[in-house]
Amino acid sequence: MHTDHAPGVLSDVSRVIAEHQANIRSIETVSPSDDRATLYLEIEGDADVGPLVERLGALTVVRQVESAEPLIAIYGKRVIIIGGGAQVGQVAVGAISEADRHNIRGERISVDTIPLVGEEELASAVRAVARLPRARVLVLAGALMGGSITGAVREVQARGIIVIALNMVGSVREAADLVVTDPLQAGVMAVMAIADTARFDISRQRKRRY
């Protein structure tokens, strides 16, 4: 949706959507310039989108409306890998290779990573996984993680994120749902844990170590 770039645009847009009994799942403002912006909205609800698109297009602040596929249909569920560069890279190779096999069979799984150093930096990144859309499983890929990182692990687990840790020094291993020694295997298992096309039940592996 191309709109004016000014306070109040979203208020007008969301009022119209609410009147159609639909919920806004997400909104992203992309490339705002001085006077215009592009908004991407994901909307859920039973409402027929035709009349909604028409009413949105009729708003004075809206210049153009187009429909697009939701990101979950394109990029799917997300595996998030956080830790040291050496280990993150190898976990990613395992996860990407396994995601490829499932995506060929119609699944959509993406593998997203960030290499970081430092307890506070890692704890913030772990905690923020709960805010990442479509994130389902987190792999902690490092040699030493504990302290506030372990607290952050428990927080994201409480939000429904599965946490796999490499076999490393520190208390993070105690909190993880699963500990895996080989980084490639950890990446593969992370994908299997969330793939509908896999016969792997993480709840039966809970607290095991490989």
Dihedral of CA atoms 78, 81, 85, 87 in degrees, nearest 10, equals -120
Q: Is 76 in the site for its own copies (CB under 8 A)?
A: yes
Q: Which of residues 74, 143, 144, 169 is near its own copies by CB under 8 A?
A: 74
Q: Is 115 in the site for its own copies (CB under 8 A)?
A: yes
Asked if residue 210 lies in contact with residue 202, where contact means CB atoms within 8 angstroms, the answer is no
- Rounded least distance, CB 68 to its own copies, Å: 7
Q: Which of residues 1, 56, 62, 96 is near its own copies by CB under 8 A?
A: 96
Helix (H) or strand (E) holding 198: none
Give the x/- contact pattern for its own copies in 16-45, rule: CB under 8 A: -xxxxxxxxxxxxxxxx-------x----x
Asked if residue 153 lies in contact with residue 179, where contact means CB atoms within 8 angstroms, the answer is no
| φ, ψ (nearest 5 deg) of residue 36 | -135, 160
Q: Which of residues 2, 54, 66, 133 is near its own copies by CB under 8 A?
A: 133
Asked if residue 137 lies in contact with residue 79, where contact means CB atoms within 8 angstroms, the answer is yes
Q: Is 162 in the site for its own copies (CB under 8 A)?
A: no
Q: Is 92 in the site for its own copies (CB under 8 A)?
A: yes
Q: Which of residues 5, 36, 55, 63 is near its own copies by CB under 8 A?
A: 5
Q: Hey, which residues between 138 and 157 contact its own copies (CB under 8 A)?
A: none
CA distances from 16 to 37, 41, 63, 96 (A): 18, 13, 15, 41
Q: Is 202 in the site for its own copies (CB under 8 A)?
A: no
Q: Which of residues 51, 64, 144, 159 is near its own copies by CB under 8 A?
A: 159
User: Which amino acid type is present at position 6?
Assistant: A
Q: Which is nearer to its own copies, 65 or 111 (CB)?
A: 111
End-to-end Cα separation, the chain, in angstroms: 48
Q: How far apart are CA 25 and CA 14, in angstroms?
A: 11
Question: Which of 174, 5, 187 has the alpha carbon at shortest distance from 80?
Answer: 187
Residues that bind its own copies (CB under 8 A): 5-11, 14-15, 17-32, 40, 45, 68-69, 71, 74-76, 84-86, 88-90, 92-93, 96-97, 99-101, 103-104, 108-117, 124-125, 128, 130-133, 159-160
